[in-house]
Chain A
Amino acid sequence: MTTIIKNRQAVADDFSTVTLAEGETAETVALPAGPLLVPIAVWQARKTELQSRGTPVGVWLAAGEGPEAIAGDLATLPVVGVHFPKFVDGRGYSTARLLRERYSYCGEIRALGDVLHDQLFLMARCGFDAFALKEGKDIAKAVAAFETFRNPYQAAVDQPQPLFRRRAA
C-alpha cells in the first residue's frame, strides 16, 4: 500500500506498477496479485489474462508513447498512467490532454515517475487527477500546489473556456 494524491487529497493506493526489467519479457513477467498498472507491451501480450483476473488493471504509458496505442481499449481501463522519466520531460502533459480532449477518457490519469510539487498545478490543468509523488517528497505540502493560480489564462482540461471568454461574461 502506498500513498498517492487523488482528487487533491492524500489517499492509500493498492495498485502495483509492473515494469519490465532487463531480460524480462511481456509474456513472462510475473504479475503480482491485486490491482495493476502494466506497460503497453504487457497489456497487448496478455490482455485476456489481465481482464480475467477480477482486479482492476490499468496501462501506463512511457514518455515516448502516446494514447494512440491504447485508444481502442480506453473504455475498459479504469486508470491510465503517464510516466515522467525526468520532471523536465514534458511529453506527458500533451499525452494527458489528448487522453481527455481527443479520446474523451473519463477514468483516472495518474502521473508516475519524477512527479514533484511544482508540476502538480500544470499537470492538473492538463487532465491528471492522480499523482504518485516522487518518494521522499512531502505530500501534505504538495497538495497546496493545486491552488497556485486561481484564474489562469488558457483553455485546458480543468477549465475549457479561456479567461478571455470568462472575462467577458
Chain B
Amino acid sequence: MYRYDQYDQALVDERVAQFSDQVARWKSGELTDDEFRPLRLQNGLYIQRHAPMFRIAVPYGMLASNQLRCLAQLGRQYDRGYGHFTTRHNMQFNWPAIEDVPAMLAELAKVQMHAIQTSGNCIRNITTDQFAGVAADEILDPRPLCEIMRQWSTFHPEFAFLPRKFKIAVNGAKEDRALTWFHDIGLHIVKTDDGLTGFRVIVGGGLGRTPIKGEVLREFLPWQDILTYCEAIIRVYNRYGRRDNAYKARIKILVQALGVEEFGRQVEAEWTHLKGGPATITQAEYDRVAAFFAPPAYATLPAIDEAFVQQQAESVPFARWVERNVRPHRVPGYASVTLSLKKPGTAPGDVTSDQMDAAAELADRYSFGELRVTHEQNLVLADVEQRQLFALWQEAKAAGFATPNIGLLTDMIVCPGGDFCDLANARSIPVANAVQARFDDLDYLWDIGDIELNFSGCMNSCGHHHVGNIGILGVDKGNEEWYQITVGGEQGNDAQLGKVIGPSFAAADVPDVIEKIVRFYIAQRQDDERFIDTFRRLGIDAFKVAVYGDKARLKAA
C-alpha cells in the first residue's frame, strides 16, 4: 500500500500543528463556536449526543496492521475500548474528549493516518472496491488513481467550502462494489476497444433525503485527465450549487435542476480551459504511486490445495465459513477472507480494541500485514493462502470474527443511530440486534440466502437503506421512534432504489415485518432465485399484501 514520503508526512504533521492551534484559539475564545465548527468538522470532529465523535480516514479502505494497532491503542486510551467502521471506510470513536483530539491526531500522524476532510462541506474520503487488486473481474487496480486523487483533494484550496459535502467513489472491476451510482461523482475504470484506459464518469448520485441514481456525464475520459475534469465539475458546482438550503445543496440537486446535458455542457466549457494543464497526471506519477500497490511476494501454489478441500469435507462449520466469508483470488492457491463484524448481538461495524489487535495480528501472519475496510462494515484479509485458511478460521473464531454470514440477512449495514448520533430520529442498533436475534438460526439464515438488509436511523441514510434489498429507516412521528420499510433496493451494476412498502411500524414490530417479508419470499421463490430476483418478478404490490394483508389489497384495487 501507499507509504508517505517526506512531503506527505510534512502535510499531516503540519495539520496536527494547525488543528492544535485551532483548538487552543477556540478554548481561549479567539475562535467562536461557529467559526470553529467547520474547522473541527474538516478534522472529523463532531459534537454528539453524549460526547464528541471523532472520525478517522481510512483512504480507499486500505489499512496496514500497524495502523490498526494504532487505532486499537487510541480506542483504549481515549475511548471506551472500541471503535466503529462506517460505510465510507472510516473509523469513528464515540467517546473522546475534544482536548485529546490533537494528541490523537499526533499519534495517527506517526502511522501515516489522519482525519482530514472526514466531515465538512469538502471532498471526503474516496472509496473503492474492497477487493481491489485481487478481484478476478478487475479491469485495473483503482487504488493508484484513488491515492493520486486523495492527494489532489487533500486541502484543495478552492474546494474547502463547497455548498455541501462531496463524495467520490471509484470502481475498477466489472462488478460495481463501490456504490458508484450513488455518489456525487462515481467513476468506473473502463478500457476502450483501442486499448485506452480511462473512466466512465457518473455525476449527481446520492442517497440521503433525496435519493437519486447518478447519471453518466461522460462515457470515456482518459485517466490522465481525471483531476482537471473533476476540477471542472466541482468548480461548476461550487459556483452554482444552491447554498440557501442545506437539504438542496448537494450536486445532485444542481444536476437535476439543470438537466445532465446542460450540466455537462457547462462542465465541458469549463474543462476546455483546464484540460492538458499541469494537473494532468503524468505516467511517471502513475508509475510511482502504482509501485506501492504492486502484488506482494505470492508463493507459487497449486490452484487447489488438497488439505483445504479435505478440511471442508470434514468440518461443516468450516465449509460454511468458506462458502460465505471466503472469495476466490486471482492468484492460484490464494483466497480473500472477510472478517465479519456482524456477530449477532453486537453493534454492526463495531470492533473492540482487542479485536483490532487480533485482526492486525491475523493480517501480519496471514495476509502480508494489510487489511481493507468494506463499505458493508467488515474487514477483509485480501491475500490468504488456501492452505492457511483452516488455521486462520480457528483464530478468527476465537476473536469473534468468523460468523459465517457475509451477504446473509444478519450481515446488515447499520448506522450508529439514535444511541450515538445527534442527527438520528430513531435508534438503529437495538432494533438491528432484535432482527438478528429473530434470524439467529443458521440453517434458516442459509436457506434465505443472499440478501442485503440496510438500516439507517434517519433520512441522512448513512446506513444506505435505500439500496438494501430490505431497507429500514428510522423516522420520528410525534417524538416516537417509527420504522419505515423499503423493499427492492440494490447496489451493484443494476443499482436500484428500494420502494416504500407502506405505513411505518413501531420498533417492536420490525422483526415480525422482516420475517413476513422473508417468509413470503421463501414461499414464492422459484428454484435458486435470490430475494432480489423474486422481488423483481413479483413487484412491490405482492410484498405489500404479504405485510399488510387485505388493507394493501384494497388499496391496490
Chain A residues packing against B (C-beta within 8 Å): 66, 87-91, 93-94, 97, 101-102, 116-119, 121-123, 125-126, 138, 141, 148-156, 160-165, 167-168
Contact = CB atoms under 8 A, between A and B. Distances in A.
B533 interface: no
A164 B8 CA distance: 11
B22 interface: yes
Nearest to B279: A155
Interface of B: 5, 7, 10-11, 14-15, 18, 22, 25, 30-31, 35, 38-39, 121, 148, 151-152, 154-162, 227, 235, 238-239, 243, 273, 277-279, 281-282, 284-285, 288
Contacts of A151: 7, 10-11
Given A118-B22, A153-B154, A89 B161 contact: yes
Given A88-B121, A122-B160, A164-B285, A93 B238 contact: yes
Contacts of B18: 148-149
Contact of A91 (B38, B39, B238, B284): B238
B159 A162 contact: no
A155 B278 contact: yes
A154 B5 CA distance: 16
B152 A118 contact: no
Contact of A93 (B154, B161, B277, B285): B161
A94 B161 contact: no
B240 to A, nearest CB: 9
A87 B7 contact: no
A154 B156 contact: yes
Contacts of A155: 277-279
A168 B15 CA distance: 24
A93 B160 contact: yes
A168 B155 CA distance: 21
Contact of B158 (A66, A121, A126, A148): A126
B279 A162 contact: yes
Given A88-B121, A126-B157, A156-B157, A118 B235 contact: no
A162 B11 contact: no
Contacts of B30: 138, 141
A153 B285 CA distance: 13
A23 B285 CA distance: 57
A88 B38 contact: yes
Given A153-B155, A163-B7, A168 B35 contact: no
A17 B169 CA distance: 44
B486 to A, nearest CB: 33
Contact of B281 (A118, A138, A150, A164): A164
Contacts of A163: 7, 151
A53 to B, nearest CB: 32
B161 A168 contact: no
A150 B14 contact: yes
A66 B270 CA distance: 13
| Closest 4 pairs (CB-CB, A-B) | A90-B161, A125-B157, A164-B285, A122-B157
Contact of A97 (B11, B31, B158, B285): B158
A168 B11 contact: no
Contacts of A160: 278
A167 B282 CA distance: 12
13 contacts: A87-B161, A88-B121, A89-B243, A90-B162, A93-B159, A97-B158, A117-B25, A119-B161, A126-B158, A148-B14, A152-B155, A160-B278, A162-B152
B278 A162 contact: yes
From A66, A126, A141, A164, residue with most partner B Cβ within 10 Å: A164
Contacts of A149: 10-11, 14-15, 18, 155
A126 B161 CA distance: 13
A165 B282 contact: yes
A113 to B, nearest CB: 13
A149 B7 CA distance: 10
Nearest to B238: A94
Contacts of A117: 25
A90 B39 contact: no
A154 B22 contact: no
Contacts of B7: 151, 163, 167
A154 B279 contact: yes
A90 B15 CA distance: 21
A165 B35 CA distance: 35
A123 B161 CA distance: 11
A153 B281 contact: no
Given A149-B11, A151-B7, A165-B278, A90 B151 contact: no
A93 B239 CA distance: 9
Given A93-B238, A102-B273, A161 B278 contact: yes
Contacts of B11: 149, 151-153
B158 A93 contact: yes
Contacts of A164: 148, 151, 281-282, 285, 288
A163 B282 CA distance: 12
Contact of B239 (A91, A122, A141, A165): A91
Contacts of B15: 149
Contacts of A125: 157
A55 to B, nearest CB: 32
Contacts of A94: 158, 235, 238-239
A122 B10 CA distance: 17
Contact of B238 (A88, A90, A122): A90
Contacts of B25: 117
B381 to A, nearest CB: 31
A118 B35 CA distance: 9
Nearest to B148: A164
A82 B96 CA distance: 39
A2 to B, nearest CB: 20
Contact of B285 (A121, A141, A168): A168
Contacts of B288: 164, 167-168
A148 B15 CA distance: 8
Given A153-B154, A164-B148, A90 B278 contact: no
Nearest to A84: B161
From B25, B38, B235, B238, residue with most partner A Cβ within 10 Å: B238
